[in-house]
Each structure stands twice: as structure tokens, then as C-alpha cells.
Amino acid sequence: MIDLHTHLGGAVPAAVLWEILCDSGLQMEFESFDALQKFLSIDPGSVTSLDDFVGRYFQASEFIQSSPHAASTAVYHLVAKAYRRSKLEAVEVRYNPVKRLRRGLHSIDSIVMATIQGLQRASMHYPVRTGIIFSLGRELSIDSNWEIIDTAVCIKRRRPLMGAYGLVGIDLAGPESRRNEADPDWIREAVKMVEKARSENLGVTWHVGETSHTGPELMIKAIEHIQPDRIGHGIELRNAAGKEKERLCQLLREKEICLEICPSVNLVTKSIGDISEIADLVRFCHRENIRYTINTDNPYLIHTNLRREFKIVARALGPDAGLLDQAHQTAREATFLQP
């Protein structure tokens, strides 16, 4: 099994974050392990949206992961846990390095090198291939996002070691309510960033169509301008209609773009009301010959792992569960961890 879509901010157990917090002596509001664990134990009923989910939990976990030692430890445990839970053969870990600098105390290079080392160590201890995807931030300034791209270009030239491929791609994440793709100035700049990353053979994945804020219209816009290899979520495809639906399907099919579907988090953030919506989307993708994979997104925060994600979609598919076999093969083809 391969997980193409997992966020470092939402994939590290509270026990690991607590250890980092205590060892680093960070001043935070959590006075005990129980307090931190309670904070990170999401009550799915209380999450109102993706913006709410991202705003509520990530600042704390990203802040704790904000030192070279912390970042290295965090990625290590993400891989170790994913292997123990789902016997993953490969995982692509995405994070935003600028959000881990502890307000400029650390350099971006030190954080990135530490995550590469942490993943190399994980690949030595567990038979898992790993790669890093840098997430740009929808809510960050153009300058900050350029800093991420420039770092990506510098880092890319490192060779893989022990199954740890280092930096393999870039992404855009953050609150979709900002609808960045609708802003012509923003998208023009984003295209330049993506072109620069692509010139270094970095893969491009793009969170879009996770919520109705970036529905079919902005999915089409993102594909036409950014031309991503993969799309983070893209489940708004199910709400496309008429000519827009035809156009979106045609683009996804012709450009062989792979949707990174992450079922449970869509439920938690109320992007879907029921897993049956994902099952219907899977059937639709098969009918329309659109590529997709199943992934975890934030396995710790939403109490899941890749095996479980496949299981819940299979259950919802019932007699059509066999369709999911194709998702494993697609992940092998669509991963940025290519020899």
C-alpha cells in the first residue's frame, strides 16, 4: 500500500508531540500530556468545516514540530506508525517548512535537512520508501511561498538514500475559502512557482475541490493553469454538472491527473455527509476512466490509517469493492517516488 497524501501536521501521535514539547521546554498552554491529548482528540461532531479543522489543530502541532530535532522526530514517527498500522510500502509526507521556523528562530534549510534525515532513519528501520512534498500555503504571502519554492529547487538535487528520496514534489494547502485560484494575479504568480519546481523534475500536486469553496469551476481553473500531476481530494467532481462536468472529466482523463481521495477527513470536515458519496465517486471515476487513489490526510488527528481508509470505502462499495484494487496500482504509477 502507498499513501500519497498525508500531512505531517496531522499525522504525529500526541505522545510523540508531548515528548518533543517536554524535551524542548517550549512554553505552551498544555500543562500535561492529558491536556495535549485532549486537545488533539477531535470530536468529529464539533468540527464545522475544513477552515475550522485547519485553524483549530494545526497551529499547535506545527509549532511543536518547529525545530530541526522536532521535525526529524515527527517525520520518523509518522513513517514508523504508518508502517506498523498498514504495512505501507511507501509514503509521501507533505508539510509547509515556513510554518516550522518558530517565527524565524530556525532556518528553512535546517528544518528541511532534519526531515530528510528523519526519513532516512525511518527508511533504515522500516522497509518504507519515503518522499517529501512541500505544501505552499493559501494564506501565506507570495514571498513566503517563493521561499518554499526556492528551497525546493536547492534541495531537489540530493540523491535518495536507503529508500528516502528526499524532496519529490510541491503542493498547495490551506483554507480553500480563500479561493486563490479565482484571483488572476495570484494564479499568475503560482504558475511561475510551479514552472520553476517542475523544471527541477519535482512532482506537482494541488489541494483543490476538497470543499465547495473550490468547486468544479476552480478545479478546472487549477488544472488549466497549474497542470498538476495529482489533485489533493478533488471530490467536488461529484458536484459538477452539464458542460462543466464534461470539461472537468475530459481534463482529468486527458491529462491523466490522479485524484488523491482521503475519505475520513472529508467526513470530519463535513465536506461530505456520508462515505457513500466517496463510494459513488469511486464508481464514477471507474466509469469515466479517471485515476484516483485512497489516502489518509491526517491519520493521527482523525484516528485512521491507510488500511482502515480502504476498508471503509470497500464497505460502502459493497459488491463493487473489487474496484479498489485499481487504486493500489494507480498509487504505484502516480507516486513521485520513481527510481
Nearer to Zn ion, 232 or 263 (CB): 232
> What residues between 30 and 49 interact with Zn ion by CB under 5 A?
none
The reply on whether position 297 binds Zn ion by CB under 5 A is yes
Across the strands, what pairs with 160?
none
- Least Å from the CB of residue 124 to Zn ion: 27
- Of 98-106, 147-155, 266-274, 297-305, the window that binds Zn ion (rule: CB under 5 A) is 297-305
- Of 119-127, 269-277, 295-303, 320-328, the window that binds Zn ion (rule: CB under 5 A) is 295-303
> What residues between 132 and 171 interact with Zn ion by CB under 5 A?
none
- Least Å from the CB of residue 171 to Zn ion: 8
Cβ–Cβ < 8 Å for 209, 233: yes
Nearer to Zn ion, 68 or 232 (CB): 232
Nearer to Zn ion, 81 or 230 (CB): 230
- Least Å from the CB of residue 298 to Zn ion: 7
Nearer to Zn ion, 236 or 297 (CB): 297
Nearer to Zn ion, 52 or 150 (CB): 52
- Least Å from the CB of residue 25 to Zn ion: 31
- Least Å from the CB of residue 328 to Zn ion: 20
- The CB-based long-range contact list for 85-88 (8 Å cut-off, 24+ gap) reads 85/299, 85/305, 85/306, 85/307, 86/1, 86/3, 86/305, 86/306, 86/307, 86/308, 87/1, 87/307, 88/1, 88/2, 88/3, 88/128, 88/306
- Least Å from the CB of residue 107 to Zn ion: 26
The residue among 331, 233, 303, 299 whose CA lies nearest residue 8 is 299
Count residues near Zn ion (CB under 5 A): 2
- Of 39-47, 72-80, 180-188, 289-297, the window that binds Zn ion (rule: CB under 5 A) is 289-297
Nearer to Zn ion, 209 or 232 (CB): 232
The reply on whether position 3 binds Zn ion by CB under 5 A is no
> What residues between 222 and 241 interact with Zn ion by CB under 5 A?
232
- Least Å from the CB of residue 336 to Zn ion: 15
Nearer to Zn ion, 86 or 135 (CB): 135
Residue nearest to Zn ion (CB): 297
Cβ–Cβ < 8 Å for 306, 1: yes
Nearer to Zn ion, 21 or 275 (CB): 275
- Least Å from the CB of residue 56 to Zn ion: 15
- Of 274-282, 294-302, 303-311, 316-324, the window that binds Zn ion (rule: CB under 5 A) is 294-302
- Of 49-57, 128-136, 218-226, 290-298, the window that binds Zn ion (rule: CB under 5 A) is 290-298
Nearer to Zn ion, 260 or 277 (CB): 260
Binding site for Zn ion (CB under 5 A): 232, 297
